[in-house]
């Protein structure tokens, strides 16, 4: 493990919420936090509406790809934030777990995804404030 705190964002498809959260954390933390994301049943690609919503705020997540959730990813993370994957996420003692109740952007238009994006930003900002510095 590195000296930096690490955060893993998990949702079912790793295509919307977790990708936006990873984008926000990468952008806002300025390299102080290791960022991961994964899904219990990853999609083929990131939700294009999530990509567009993030582009509107100057964050490019076009290079992101949905990844399979592994026990190793959980074990290597200090904080695991789940977004609707529930019991599919492995549990390891000593990790901090948070479950963020967020609407799923899948199948939604940009108008519906913007408030989800903004809610994720607010939660990511709170999370950064709570994490110890490296």
Annotated catalytic residue within 10, 25, 33, 89: 89
Question: What are the distances in angstroms from CA 131 to CA 29, 45, 79?
Answer: 11, 30, 9
- Annotated catalytic, 113? no
* 89 pLDDT above the threshold of 70: no
Tens-place pLDDT, residues 96-105: 999 999 999 9
* pLDDT given for residue 87 in this prediction: 60
Q: How far apart are CA 54 and CA 93, in angstroms?
A: 33
| Rg of the chain, C-alpha, whole Å | 14
Average pLDDT estimate for 71-100: 84
Tens-place pLDDT, residues 38-60: 998 999 999 999 999 999 999 99
User: What's the mean per-residue pLDDT of the chain?
Assistant: 92
* 23 pLDDT above the threshold of 70: yes
* 63 pLDDT above the threshold of 90: yes
List domains and CATH numbers for the chain: 6-129 (3.40.50.2300)
Q: How far apart are CA 62 and CA 59, in angstroms?
A: 9
Annotated catalytic residue within 69, 81, 83, 85: 85
* pLDDT given for residue 132 in this prediction: 78
* pLDDT given for residue 86 in this prediction: 61
Q: How far apart are CA 110 and CA 130, in angstroms?
A: 30
- With cut-offs at 50, 70 and 90, classify the pLDDT of residue 91: confident
- Annotated catalytic, 79? no
- Annotated catalytic, 15? no
């Amino acid at each position: 493990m590195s000296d930096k705190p690490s955060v893993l964002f998990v949702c079912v498809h790793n295509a919307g919420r977790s990708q936006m959260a990873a984008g926000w954390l990468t952008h806002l933390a300025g390299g102080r936090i290791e960022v991961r994301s994964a899904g219990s049943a990853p999609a083929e690609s990131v939700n294009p509406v999530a990509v567009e919503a993030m582009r509107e705020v100057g964050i490019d997540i076009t290079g992101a790809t949905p990844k399979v959730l592994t026990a190793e990813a959980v074990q290597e993370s200090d904080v695991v934030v789940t977004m609707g994957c529930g019991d599919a996420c492995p549990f390891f003692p000593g990790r901090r777990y948070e479950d963020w109740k967020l609407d799923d952007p899948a199948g939604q238009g940009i108008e519906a995804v913007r408030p989800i994006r903004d809610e994720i930003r607010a939660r990511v900002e709170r999370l950064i404030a709570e994490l110890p510095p490296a």
